[in-house]
Amino acid sequence: MAYQTDRVPILFKTSEPRRGRLAPLLAVGVLAVFALAIYVPSTVFRTTTANVTSLRASLPILTRNPIIGIHSHRDEEHGDDFIVASYLKWVESAGGRGVRIPYNATKEELDVLLKSVNGVLFPGGSGDPNAAAEYIYSQAIEFNNNGDHFPVWGTCLGFEWLVELQAGNHSILDHVDADNVSSTLQFHHNFQGESRLFGFSHHFDVLATKPITANFHFNGILKSHFDATDKLTSFYNVLATSDDQQGQTYVAAFEAKDYPIYAVQFHPEKNPYEIGDDKTGGTMNLVDHSQEAIVISQTFGHFFIGEARRNGHAFADPAAERDALLLNPTLSSRSYPYFESTLTFPADLIRLVASVNGILFPGGDPEPSPTAAFLYSRVLDLNRNGTYFSLWGACLGFEWLVQLHTGDLRILDNVDDAQKLSLTLNLVHPGQSRLFSFSPSFNVLKECTCLSSNAKQHNHARV
């Protein structure tokens, strides 16, 4: 179902009237406030220009609360994948929701995932774009070529990845001196009239005069280098540049000419969410945390989420969506103060599951571990996404599956009379069971009480 077109949020004004003019304007102001109270409900959003580009103007709202796929990064030191929490917060602050794109996701996994999310965020980090990132970029181009408005946003390293992917050159980046520095932007291309991104809100205007953008990068692409690269100039418009601490002018923001692909070399998510300070004068000490900077951060988020609302991608069913959403992630402060918190994911287990054909939960004694919970969730995800993957539970493994599926570790009952016994089975609907209809040999379990294969040695079960 299509919704009415959304608009830019009305946020606080960035300038105040001069005192000498305040009294004459009082009566007009009262009337204006009264009129605004009537007007705002129907126009919660605004733009600074009537020149709305054709790429976006006629597209309806197809998804009210879009889901963004956030590409995770690999942490070699800890042997897992992670997402910096501030990126998820930034997405959620604008009304979006987040799911993880595994760092080493296969094409088969990505095919399902990209049809389920409404946009992709390439966050900051380190390293060159991997095979998953390359495939995501190519699929985003294909979606849009087929009339499916699918946005991609790159921040810092994500900006650099979009440069490398479009140029087809992982060595194209230049060295810049822009680590832990807040900078101004020099706008290009009559940004308010021509840029979809910077024409979105008047709040971006102040970026030309105040050093608000948070920069934490040693790589980038110089404006002169960008202009000399045909694969970049034919595809992207440079929206803004900044000068590094050595006076070099590098590209700070761009957008694709004909695709909803946007990138900034700075970090909008740090202004509201990365407050960490190691008290030694390093880390986040130069990030602007003013109200003005935070509103600008949110406005960037509103723009991106607004773009993501314009496609109808969705998960196959509510259960698959719920399992994928980053609603209750594992958080770590191990990277503090550089990152206040990170979402961590056991990448080694992902690779393990990808290399085996099934999983066995054997008998034993303890309650389900986080590893067991992750494996159970992973098996469900694989099967929902079309990969047939089996899981077997024996004794304690049986109990784990009951506990994991219900989410209740206390659900088991005491069955003290099932220790060291061999019992018959009362088969329930055996003809409908994939397991017990597999072979007529199972019929003997209804009669024989002495088979070691039916031995009982447990104190708990589900009655």
Lowest mean pLDDT among 46-55, 352-361, 406-415: 46-55
Q: 29: pLDDT confidence band, cut at 50, 70 and 90? A: very low
Q: What is the set of active-site residues?
A: 156, 267
Instruction: Return the pLDDT at 436.
Output: 76
Confidence of residue 282 (pLDDT cuts 50, 70, 90): low
pTM of the model: 0.68
Higher pLDDT, 17 or 356: 356
What is the CB-side half-sphere exposure of residue 74 using CA atoms within 13 A? 15
Burial 112-149 (b: 16+ CB within 10 A, else e): bbbbbbbbbbbbbbeeebbebbebbbebbbebbeeeeb
Residue 279: pLDDT over 60: no
Report the pLDDT value the prediction gives residue 193, as an integer from 0 to 100: 64
Task: State the number of CA atoms in the 13 A half-sphere of 92 facing the CB.
Answer: 13
Confidence of residue 382 (pLDDT cuts 50, 70, 90): confident
How is domain 54-344 classified at the CATH fold level?
Rossmann fold (3.40.50)
| Structure token pair of residue 101 | 């794109």
Residue-averaged pLDDT of the chain = 82
Task: Give per-residue pLDDT as tens, 75-122.
Answer: 877 778 899 999 999 999 999 999 999 998 999 999 999 999 999 999
**418-430 residue pLDDT tens:** 677 777 777 777 6
- What pLDDT does 364 receive? 84
Residues 42-69 pLDDT 10s: 322 233 333 334 555 568 999 999 999 9
Q: Is the confidence at residue 440, as pLDDT, over 70?
A: yes
Average pLDDT over residues 210-235: 97
Give mean pLDDT, residues 296-314.
Answer: 98
Higher pLDDT, 165 or 442: 165
What tens digit of pLDDT does each residue of 19-28 get?
Answer: 344 444 444 4
Nearest partner of 126 among 103, 97, 110, judged by Cα: 103
What's the confidence (pLDDT) of residue 280?
A: 57
HSE-CB of 8 using CA atoms within 13 angstroms:
24
Q: Where would I find the H helices in 151-202? A: 157-167, 191-194
pLDDT, position 448: 54
The pLDDT of residue 276 is 66
Q: What is the pLDDT of residue 429?
A: 73
pLDDT band of residue 160 (cuts 50, 70, 90) is: very high
Give the pLDDT score at 67: 98
Query: Token match 């953008």: residue?
Result: 213
Nearest to 256 by CA among 154, 125, 170: 154
Nearest C-alpha neighbor of 258 from the set 82, 402, 53 = 53
Instruction: Report which of residues 269 and 451 the model is more confident about.
Output: 269
Kindly indicate the confidence band of residue 340, based on its pLDDT and cuts at 50, 70 and 90: confident
- In the prediction, which pLDDT does 273 show? 92
- Average pLDDT of the segment spanning 381-410: 90
CATH 3.40.50.880 in the chain, residue ranges: 54-344
